[in-house]
Amino acid sequence: MAGAATTANADTFQPIWSFGNVSLNYLDWSSGTESRTSTNAAKSDFMFVEIEGGAGFSWGEFYGFFDFENPTNSQFDESSGGKDNFRTAGKVTSHIYLGDSPLSLYAHIYDFRDYGFNGREQDQILGLGYRTTFDNGLWFKPFIGAARVQSDGYTGMNGYMAGWVAGYDFSAINQNFSVTNWHEQTFGRDDEYLEQNFVGDTAGSVGTNGALSFWWHPSSLITTGIQYRYSDNKLGTPNDYQNAMIYSVKLNLL
């Protein structure tokens, strides 16, 4: 009986799937974004190194990344007036399955730090998720939850967040490709947060954040891709749309 229990426990923590990679990325803001944000949380192109991974079990799944933005720069970059400071950003998400249903207990934490300005914001989401894969192979994982924020400007409950991650793998011209999308919609955000955590003006209560990505998998070791990054009433800039292209090369470790 003890041996059977040990085997069952090992199976519980044996991943059904997993992946991990390290990537080099370059984010190129549009000229319009740089113009629109020049006086409110000014944006500047930057390079970042990312560590990313995930794993799925019989009872739940986890995903996370950690970014080092401008990794060769000082905490405060004097030549750019602080636009090119060394920064970090990290995120962990989880779906804890609710029995055999497609529903899950969803949680995520996103943490951003700008060391040159001693700026920090951590978003904490807790709610419900859903998981489905369609017959054509498209997978879709929406969620909705209550939001809380910890930051140097405001700490407390901060409305709600709804969103999803989705992806589709396909082959063409004897090559493997995939398309992915992550999207976050925040709403009902606290008035004090909207005043304290944005530059130059008070932001609207609804915020949009996400990216649409196209990936090429030339081998099991290498993935390269291009991402369209979009945001509105987020990233410290109130009432302005922001967009960029991200160019990425990943070294797949798992």
**Span 229-246, pLDDT tens digits:** 999 999 999 999 999 999
Q: Name the burial class of residue 132, with classes exposed (0-12), middle (13-18) and buried (19+) by CB atoms within 10 angstroms of its CB.
A: exposed
Q: What is the pLDDT of residue 5?
A: 52
Pairing of strands 46-56, 60-69: antiparallel
| Residue 3 within any structural domain of the chain | no
Q: What is the per-residue pLDDT for 40?
A: 82
Domain total for the chain?
A: 1
E strand or H helix that includes residue 119: strand 119-130
Q: Is residue 9 part of a domain?
A: no
Position 121 in a domain:
yes
Please report, for the chain, how many H helices and E strands are present, in that order: 3, 13
Residues 90 and 123 sit within 8 Å (Cβ to Cβ): no
User: Does 240 map to a domain?
Assistant: yes
CATH number, residue 139: 2.40.230.20
Q: Classify residue 182: in a domain, yes or no.
A: yes
Domain ranges, residue 197: 18-252
Phi, psi (rounded to 5 degrees) for 221: -90, -30
pLDDT of 193: 94
Q: Check if the beta carbon of residue 106 is closer than 8 Å to that of residue 94.
A: yes
Is residue 95 in a domain? yes
Q: What is the pTM of this model?
A: 0.93
Is position 4 within any domain? no
Look at residues 70, 93, 94, 96 and name the one whose alpha carbon lies nearest to residue 83.
70
In a 10 Å sphere around its CB, with 0-12 CB exposed, 13-18 middle and 19+ buried, how is residue 57 labelled? middle
For residue 8, being part of any structural domain is answered with no
Residue 145: its pLDDT value, please? Answer: 99
**The predicted structure's pLDDT at residue 39:** 85
Q: Which residues of the chain have pLDDT under 50?
A: none
